[in-house]
Each structure stands twice: as C-alpha cells, then as structure tokens.
Homo-oligomer: A and B are copies of this chain.
Amino acid sequence: MNKSNGAILILSGPSGCGKSTLLKEVYKDIKDYYFSISTTTRAPRQGEQHGVDYFFVSKEEFEKDIQNNEFLEWARVHDNYYGTSLKPINKALEEGKLVIFDIDVQGHDLVRKSSFNSFVTSVFITTPSLKELENRLNSRATDAKEVIEKRIKNAKVEIQSIDKYDYFLINDDLLLASKQLVSIANSARIKASLYNKQEVITKWMN
C-alpha cells in the first residue's frame, strides 16, 4: 500500500444496527485502516483510554486548535468540547490508510462539503426493517425507554437521507454484510486512486 491508496469510508446508521459488531468482522479482512477518533475536553470515564476511545485534551489545547483551524468539525456540548481533528486524518491518508468514520447524517454532509470529498465513499447501514431495529434496541435492555424512543425517531428521519450515500447496506446476515462491506472498502481505495485525473494520465503517458 502506498500514498495513492489513502481513502475515506464513512459509515452511518442508527444505534442498534450492529455497526460495531460488523466492523470487528471487517477488520479481519482489511488492512491499513485508521478508525477516526474524536477529540474531547471531557474527563475520561472509567476504562476509557486516550487514543482509543477519545483524544482527551485540555480546554486550552482545544481552543488553540479551533483558532488554528485544526478541526474538521467541532461542537460545544454543555461545558465540554467535542471535535474531529484534521491532523490524524491527514497523517493516515498520507500513509495510504483507509480512514473510517462512524458518524451521523449531519457529519456525513459535513465531510462531503470538505476538501476530503474526493476521497470519500459512504455507506448507510441499517437493520432489515424498522420493526427489527425496535426489537434489537428493546432486547439490548441497556437503554431507558425514552432513549430507545429517541433513537427510533432519529432512525426514521435519517433513513430519508439514504440517497446522499454511495451504498445502502442491510445488516441482517453478519457474514454476508461483512463480506459486502469489505468489497466496498476495497472499492473505496480503488475509487480514491483516481482523485487526481491529470496526474494519473501524465504518469501513464510517461
């Protein structure tokens, strides 16, 4: 793999669609990926690690980075900042890695409007049906009723945006879905290699 293989894969989809489990399966087959981690000023919770769950930084550092345009996007939620730093993404792309984002429809729109757009392939992942999503969220029994209701409401809104995505993937059979996502990840790399048409032609001619 070399520089020209750098690409971005955006995954969106409702809580409960099984994205995390799917990604674990996909990681067995794809190489040289970088899973994009958010930067935050909130304190680490028990078990959370710097560079794994989040990049934990001070408010001063975060605000300095805002001033230096070092965020792809950022937001202040209550008293804390959350954002996506550009540095690790640029570094991973330069190293020819596949940068994976797990972000919502709004985040997807934002990356599409950024200078990274030429490198992006996006996938909307969901359950076979709304009913199945409800079943999965209820059977996890990890969330309060109101949280589940909010997630289902969000899911109904977010699915209206599937045409903004390159692919729509139903996560029903885990092995089939992971095989499909591996194919999409491979294709994302090949697609991104053409981002500079003139450079490709010049290189081919000489």
Residues of A within 8 A of B (CB): 126, 128-130, 156, 159-160, 162-163, 165-169, 179-180, 182-184, 186-187, 190-191, 193-194, 197, 200-201, 203-206
Most chain B CB within 10 A, of A128, A169, A183, A191, is at A183
Contact call A204/B163, Cβ cutoff below 8 A: no
Residues on B with beta carbons closer than 8 Å to the beta carbon of A162: 194, 197, 200-201
A128 to B182, CA, bound (A): 25
Residues on B with beta carbons closer than 8 Å to the beta carbon of A159: 201, 204-205
- Residue of B at shortest CB range from A179? B186
A167-B187, A183-B183, A183-B187 known; A160 and B194 CB under 8 Å? no
Contact call A168/B200, Cβ cutoff below 8 A: yes
Contact partner of A167 (CB less than 8 A), chosen from B160, B167, B190, B197, is B190
A130-B205, A156-B205, A205-B156 known; A190 and B200 CB under 8 Å? no
